[in-house]
Structure 1
Amino acid sequence: MITKSAFRGLTVDELHFLDGKFTYQGSLNYTKLEIKPYLDLAMWRFETLYYPACIETLKSYLKKRGTQVNRKVKPRVRLIQKASDSGWLAVSCLATGFYPRHINLTLLRDGQPVSDHEVTGGDLLPNGDGTYQMRKSLEIRAEERQKHKYTCSAKHLGLDNKLIVNLEFEPGEPYKPVIFSVLISLTLVLVFGIGVFIYRCRKRRAGPDIS
């Protein structure tokens, strides 16, 4: 337990109580003899009133909310990329819906963790349902996407093992290989249909074959 006293925006003294030990830090110019009655009274309050009341309150809270506090909800993890107008790609590792709050989320490039100075984000944010979310992002040039393999690793109490996910497309991003295949198929169908139509028209104009 820690209490602080302040005056005009500055902390003038601090009282610490940890594992039965009582310590004092202060900037006021009092002698040990002058400050002793104040410290004796503060220590008595900590040991007799504040600390026991705090522990009992926490025990009561944990008893009522134990199921919620001790639950484990595994994270939903995605690794997505989104193109920007500047020609860069944002590769983001997103974990959401997990509880408790501690999670180890790592962006990997070719199986090796990306250095911290390249990664942005990483803040733990609350969801409206009492769970948490975290996002880590990396900006790369479009040509780097073809040279390297990007994955996302997550470790959490809700997971039996380490979870690794591969890069997936975000809605709205161009699916060039898929679009190309679909266009080829549609072209072939159209050409075949036109051929059948021309063949039937010519057969009708030729009329019946009379020998």
Structure 2
Amino acid sequence: MNAGQMDIIIVLFVLLPSTSSNGPNVYQTLIVCELLDLDKPGKMIIKDAAGGCTTDELCYFNSSFTYTVSVNITQEVLKPHLEEFKQKYENFYYPVCIDALKNYLKKRQNDINRKIKPRVRLLQKANSDFGGSRLCCLATGFYPRHINLTLFRDGQPVSDHEITGGDLLPNDDGTYQMRKSLEISRADTHTYTCSVTHLSLDNKLDIDLEYQGETFKQVISSVLVVLALGLVLMTAIGVIKWWRRHHSGT
């Protein structure tokens, strides 16, 4: 989906009576329609499924109508009904779906137009099962939901078959998150980078593992400095108290 494009998805579930001992049959219909830039109506797609398998699919766009069926129905039986299908979807279902999408966008315009920047972290954790480490690139708290999250090794994208994760997940506050992970060996000396592009960002955001490590070192250094200053201060206070007691006794 491109910027400015919005889908509405309707899923219908119908339980049908069944004489099978496996329980009732489930009939499903998936209806999708979209708006393109400048509120131009886009595609409408309808898929039917029964018993967990797709039975037929209909696509309508710009007065073009396509229909595919996977069940055992001959074209001779199907052909007389195709024109009736086309007229029904063109004159009723398609306008209804587009109007419903426009009304939804009008009511939710403030939410839809909001942009929240992702919080991105590139972490490395020991993996005892693998005998190496796991790199994890996490982007969270972003909106809208479309995001590109890519792991780079020495400036080159890591192959998809090496990556795990990548599913888009919702957060409780209405934002989204995505995580991608990569297993590396203990002897790995490559440079890894997590790159993110999102509508809320003016430029591509690159987070590298060395930067995360340097930040950790800086935190540790700061803690050590504070502890050292505290120790010096406590020593000075102790010396002053000892000096006062010593001189007050004399």
TM-score (norm 1): 0.69
Partner residue of 1:152? 194
Residue type of the alignment partner of 2:93: Y
TM-score normalized by the length of structure 2: 0.59
Q: Are residues 20 and 136 of structure 1, via their aligned partners in 2, closer, same or farther at CA, if it must alter by over 3 Å?
A: same
Corresponding residue number in structure 2 for 1:90: 134
Partner of 1:72: 115
Of 131, 140, 158, the residue aligned with 1:114 is: 158
Q: Secondary structure at the match of 1:152?
A: strand
The equivalent residue for 1:135 is 179
- Going from structure 1 to structure 2, the CA distance change for 1:67 and 1:5 (only over 3 Å counts) comes to closer
In 2, Cα distance between equivalents of 1:11 and 1:84: 41
Please name the residue that 1:28 is paired with.
73
Q: Match for 2:115: what amino acid?
A: K
Spell out, residue by residue over 1:150-191, the C-alpha distance to the aligned partner (whole angstroms, 9 max, x if none).
Answer: 22111111111111123236xxx9x8xx59x95xx98xx8xx
**8 Å contact from structure 1 (residues 74, 158) kept in 2:** yes
Shift of 1:93: 0.8
- In 1, the alpha carbon distance for the partners of 2:52 and 2:155 equals 50
Cα 1:5–1:116, aligned 2, differ >3 Å: closer, same or farther? Answer: closer
Cα distance between partner residues in 1 of 2:114 and 2:127: 39
Tell me which of 132, 151, 167 is aligned to 1:123: 167
User: Which stretch of structure 1 is more off in the superposition, 3-12 or 23-32?
Assistant: 3-12
SS class of match (2:161) = helix
- Distance, in Å, in 2 between the alignment partners of 1:35 and 1:57 is 30
Distance in 1 (CA, whole Å) between partners of 2:53 and 2:123 is 47
Work out whether residues 109 and 150 of structure 1, in 8 Å CA contact, stay in contact via their aligned partners in 2: yes
Partner of 1:197: none
For 2:53 and 2:126, how far apart are their aligned partners in 1?
A: 48
Give aligned pairs, total.
181
CA offsets, 1:100-145, max 9 Å, x none? 222121222333322323222212112122211111112223332x
Among candidates 5, 18, 21, match of residue 61 of structure 2: 18
Structure 1 residues 14 and 93: alpha-carbon distance in aligned structure 2, compared to 1, 3 A threshold: closer
Rounded Cα–Cα distance in structure 1 between residues aligned with 2:206 and 2:51: 52
TM superposition shift of 1:5: 5.7
Percent of residue pairs identical: 55
The superposition leaves residues 45-99 of structure 1 with CA deviations (integer Å, 9 ceiling, x where unpaired) of 1122111111111111111111211221111000111113344111111101111
Higher relative contact order, chain-length normalized (CA < 8 Å, sep 6+): 1
Return 93-102 or 83-92, whichever deviates more. Answer: 83-92
Whose Rg is larger? 1
Equivalent residue in structure 2 for 1:60, among 76, 93, 103 = 103
Equivalent-residue separation in structure 2 for 1:79 and 1:48 (angstroms) = 51
Q: Which has the higher strand share?
A: 2
Q: CA deviation at 1:14?
A: 4.1
Q: Deviations over 1:16-60 (max 9, x none)?
A: 32211223334423637x842x33332221122111111111111
1:42 corresponds in structure 2 to: 85
Unaligned runs of 5+ in 2: 1-43, 236-250
Distance 1:119 1:71, change over 3 A: same
Contact 1:79–1:93 (CA under 8 A) maintained in structure 2: yes
